[in-house]
Amino acid sequence: MAADWSEVADRCWVRRYEPYDVSCGVVTGADGLLVVDTRCSLDEGRELLGDIRTLSPLPVRVVVNTHAHFDHVLGNGAFREAYPDVLLVGHETVPDGVREEAGLKGMEPVPPDTLLASVWTGDLGDRYVEAVHPGRGHSAGDVVIRVPDADVVYAGDIVESSGPPSYGTDCWPLEWPQQLEFLATLLSDGSAVVPGHGAVVDKDFVLGQRVDLADVAGQLQTLYAEGVPVDEAAARGTWPYPAEWLGRAGIPRGYEQLGG
């Protein structure tokens, strides 16, 4: 077994990869493997698959994309070429996002072909797994992967422990706190939560991040209601995260969703 894989709970693995310190997951069952996210390119996906081979010789049955951002999906093709029958699972909004991200890099897109609106369940032989859409937040197509018998959730980028949550140009800052409220209902005090970037965390961490995300959402609503212009909002708030960080996309996105 490679030293760089970490078994966060029974046969649930995580490994962190550069660039972007993206976490990829592997869940092992009697019939095969489920993989969470595929890194930034076909070559990186192939390297990931090689590393997965050090864990188990069983076939990869399922790949789940936690959302459409390039660092989580552009290695999908490596799994399709090695396993033509693999299920590529993602939220119903993710294929368009993958086509866009692949187009930007001049790649042939390999989008998810097994789509979910709310939930998908898969059977790995001796255990089952769930992929659940917790609503919009980090992106419109976020999905968390739950392994009930191991009390593990792979959360993608809706939870981030290596830095402030990533408010990008496709985020939903007003709804993001509700995602984590929902996620917390899937967790016990002993759950392992694997973020898309950063070290494994627990329910307390998720609840703490929810408070900060709700703080941002609340301030956005207040500043908007007070008529503070969008380009002054970063300086006017008392944010739990660096104002410059939020000013790039989070604040404009919040204003846009509030209607102006």
Q: Supply 133's token pair.
A: 């859409």
Find the shortest distance in angstroms from Cβ 199 to Zn ion.
17
Binding span for Zn ion by CB under 5 A among 68-76, 146-154, 211-219, 252-260: 68-76
Positive or negative torsion for Cα 179, 180, 185, 188: positive
Chain center to CA of 227? 34
Site string (139-178) toward Zn ion, x via CB under 5 A: ------------------x---------------------
Whole-number Å distance between alpha carbons of 134 and 67: 12
Tokens coding 127: 């255990």
Q: Which is closer to Zn ion, CB of 168 or CB of 240?
A: 168
Number of residues forming the site for Zn ion (CB under 5 A): 2
Nearest distance, CB of residue 109 and Zn ion, angstroms: 17
Residue 44 or residue 157: which is nearer to Zn ion going by CB? 157
**Which residue, 169 or 222, has its beta carbon nearer to Zn ion?**
169
Applying CB under 5 A, does 133 fall inside the site for Zn ion?
no
Given the complex with Zn ion, which of 69 and 91 has the nearer CB atom? 69
Nearest distance in Å: CB 238, Zn ion: 26
Cβ(51)–Cβ(1) below 8 Å: no
Closest to Zn ion by CB, 65 or 219: 65
Q: For residue 26, list its beta bridge partners.
A: 13, 35
C-alpha–C-alpha distance, residues 72 and 40, integer Å: 6
User: Does a cis peptide bond (omega within 30 degrees of 0) precede residue 177?
Assistant: no
Please identify, using beta-carbon distances, which residue of 151 and 170 lies nearer to Zn ion.
170
Given 69, 146, 197, 210, the residue binding Zn ion (CB under 5 A): 69
Stretch that binds Zn ion, among 65-73, 78-86, 147-155, 209-217 (CB under 5 A): 65-73
Whole-angstrom Cα distance, residue 67 to residue 142?
A: 5
Q: Cα(36)–Cα(23) distance, rounded to whole angstroms?
A: 8
CB atoms within 10 A of CB 249: 16
Summarize as ranges the residues that interact with Zn ion (CB under 5 A).
69, 157
